[in-house]
Structure 1
């Protein structure tokens, strides 16, 4: 029989190679069909997930007994209802630490922390309470009373202060994604961050994490609807509105927040003259490996944010086809799965694993993410992996393990992939618009 240590190593290796999320890689390695019984902790079922926003909401709705007329409101379907996919590219340059950070957006309204969840709840006609408490003491009390009443809360902790990602201090205050706090236990909070086993955080650390980022300081979302069925006509309208929002958003003209962002990024990767061109910004190679690693982490589902989400959207289209009784929507799903593979090729190009130091970076990143999914049981493993990961990244911060010829080839190939992605997504959006217009 394969030991736990052996199969975990194989799961991590697969995640690093394929970019898959932990649950998917684990199922492949162990031959699971996905029928394993989920873990229940303090009355909360740990179901995992991919996209932080829609996974959190799907898990909360399942806990509160809110369904559609034909069953659960799944994560893929909620992704569709919330506006589906987005596109975004920004290269930030910070003078205070000479930082160069690549930011990518893959969901509708990705630049707003609360908009997708608010829109999803509104379209489904569900009752929810939003609160934002300025003072730390009052915020802690509000969360305590919510959990004591048996209500899970969606909150937005800073990743550095929440602790379990083991990020370096340089990322203090850089924010984070939504998670579900579902129980209190002594001096710890039970947190669901798409985890498959219990994960707890010291209460004082959790309170600091919630208060750290000014733009969403101590924000808390509590769904009040319970044991309810979203009417069929309401669900149909929500799905159709979400799909229309996807089409309208992606087809926009913004070069930062719509499909033209991919075309712009493709050009800037190789543009020798543009101030924001990669040959100019990274002429001294400082921060280049961080940028390339950031691309891999943002694009691949194995990263902290869930990745490009094109495959999840494809699943949502298949489910939307049944809701709307529109088979042509299901026929569109294959387009987005193929586009997802294009994104994987882009990420693979950005961080080529045939280079030993880079292969180790990918493996360590996958180890941290996988160990988060394993909850408290993975604490020691992810701490050790994160320590090595950030030491390795610091070692190569100003001296990439890639030579100039290879870096030029990477930029050129990434540019070609992005141009193809832009064309493929533009075509897919036009096809989806045609289906919706029937």
Structure 2
């Protein structure tokens, strides 16, 4: 038990230092490959983990249902590509009712729509699936229970606060959440629990009543549920090729657009606003009183790094998907672009490091606690007590520095300048990579 405890501590320490997801950090610590060839099986469901909530959820459901491509599983990286690949998005919200400033980042195609990527992915692949939206709480609970009783896992969108296991503070009630897979139920009455896969590696259960409440909380996707009904089928080779190409073309089209909120110009805009004291949305103006600045910087680290709740920038995952797409399309020139995207992933890590410099003790501790919560979620129910304790300390620490970050004015200016420089370089690198990818896709001789 002591050895296991020390191992978990080392894994979480690595997550805090590198921003890696739990499975990747653990693989480095124990000296094994990142993929686990023998995942834990709970109620017949294989817990394979994952990075991108959407693509991982669908990949795990398809694997469970025996839906494959002509040459094997439809993997998370490949499904990321089919769904439109990467995106770009930056918005800084200001709310007068509580004087809060909230940073929102988007890293996937159609990130601003909760269902767009998954709907597009199953449609492009021709996979038989059913969407449902049940307005009433009782009807929604019955629909979920019926699906689970029939042995059908479903993808659903619960509010993270009410889901419980992230241990978020009350002011994030109704903030929404990413998709998770509900795959089994146990117990009855008030003690009923639902088994949930949130890219976890061990069984994670939540009270059925909590999940019902979480699913109903956000009006825009109240009680949404996706059930894949296809079973034991193979996506034809021509259909898969068309889906992969359509996904890559959609990514090039989206990222190459002119929107300063939903395309690559978003990064350029953000880079400028980080250091522009004259712009109304410039960080020197918005955070002139220093209130909420630590929350914003922490949101950048959590949003960018794979160790966060939503899987991070996903550039390295896309590189894996691009290699797999190259095999599907028989286009080795596409695979040759993967190192370029891995280099971009390194640039994003550098940005996250700049946002939360761990040479500051309080910030280093904040990163450690954030990683501890995420790591304990991956550990399922076994990590419940540890993540609750870590979350309590984390939010106490964040509240302590809510009015001002543990950085003096000179260091704040240096942090913002450093972040701005990294973002400008990222924008240039991604623009060049997208242009290159678009040229390859448009080459009539290839």
Specify the TM-score bucket, using the shorter chain as the normaliser: over 0.9
Q: CA–CA distance in 2 between the matches of 1:96 and 1:403?
A: 28
User: Which residue in the other structure is 2:114 paired with?
Assistant: 113
Relative to the length of structure 2, the TM-score reads: 0.98
Structure 1 CA distance, aligned partners of 2:396 and 2:359?
20
Alpha-carbon distance in structure 1 between the residues aligned to 2:13 and 2:398? 19
Matches for 1:420-435 after TM superposition, within 5 Å: 420-435=425-440
How many angstroms apart in 2 are the aligned matches of 1:35 and 1:188?
27
Number of the residue aligned with 1:11 = 11
Tell me how far apart the structure 2 counterparts of residues 275 and 180 of structure 1 sit (CA, whole Å): 41
Matches within 5 A, 1:129-148: 129-148=130-149
Superposition deviation, residue 4 in structure 1:
0.9
Rounded to whole Å, the distance in 2 between the matches of 1:93 and 1:18 is 30
Q: What SS class does the counterpart of residue 29 from structure 1 fall into?
A: helix
Partner of 2:54: 53
- Find the residue that maps to 1:83 and give its secondary structure: coil
Match of residue 419 from structure 1? 424
Matched, 1:217 2:213: no
- The residue correspondences of 1:118-197 to structure 2 (distance < 5 A) are 118-186=119-187, 187-197=192-202
1:69 aligns with 2:70: yes
Aligned pair count reads 438
Q: Deviations over 1:32-51 (max 9, x none)?
A: 22345100000111000000
Ranges in structure 1 where 5+ consecutive residues have no aligned partner: none
CA offset at residue 399 of structure 1? 2.1
Cα root mean square deviation, aligned = 0.8
Matches within 5 A, 1:84-99: 84-99=85-100
Instruction: Give the match for residue 235 of structure 1.
Output: 240
| 2:399 matches 1:394 | yes
Match of 1:30 in 2: 30
Paired with 1:335 and 1:2, the residues of 2 have a C-alpha distance of: 42
Task: Say whether 1:82 aligns with 2:88.
Answer: no
- 2:297 paired with 1:296: no
Mark the CA change 1:241 to 1:36 in structure 2 (over 3 Å): closer, same or farther. closer
Q: Supply the distance in 1 between the matched residues of 2:358 and 2:12 (Cα, whole angstroms).
A: 14
Once residues 370 and 37 of structure 2 are traced to their aligned partners in structure 1, the CA distance between those partners, rounded to angstroms, is 26
Between 419-428 and 28-37, the greater mean CA deviation after superposition: 28-37
What corresponds to 1:260 in structure 2? 265
Question: 1:309-352 deviations in whole A, cap 9, x for unaligned?
Answer: 00000000000010000000000000100000000000000000
Distance (Å, rounded) in 2 between the aligned partners of 1:430 and 1:205: 46
Partner secondary structure for residue 148 of structure 2: helix
Distance in 2 separating the partners of 1:252 and 1:344: 25
Using the TM superposition, give the Cα deviation of residue 156 of structure 1 relative to its aligned residue in structure 2, in angstroms.
Answer: 0.3
TM-superposed deviation, 1:2: 7.3
Per the alignment, residue 322 of structure 1 pairs with: 327
Q: If the length of structure 1 is used for normalisation, what is the TM-score? A: 0.99
Of residues 376, 383, 391, the one that matches 1:378 is 383
Q: Distance in 2 between matches of 1:243 and 1:50?
A: 19
CA contact (8 A) 2:36 2:48 kept: no
Give the Cα separation in 1 of the matches to 2:220 and 2:372: 30
Between the aligned partners of 2:123 and 2:424, the Cα distance in structure 1 is 36
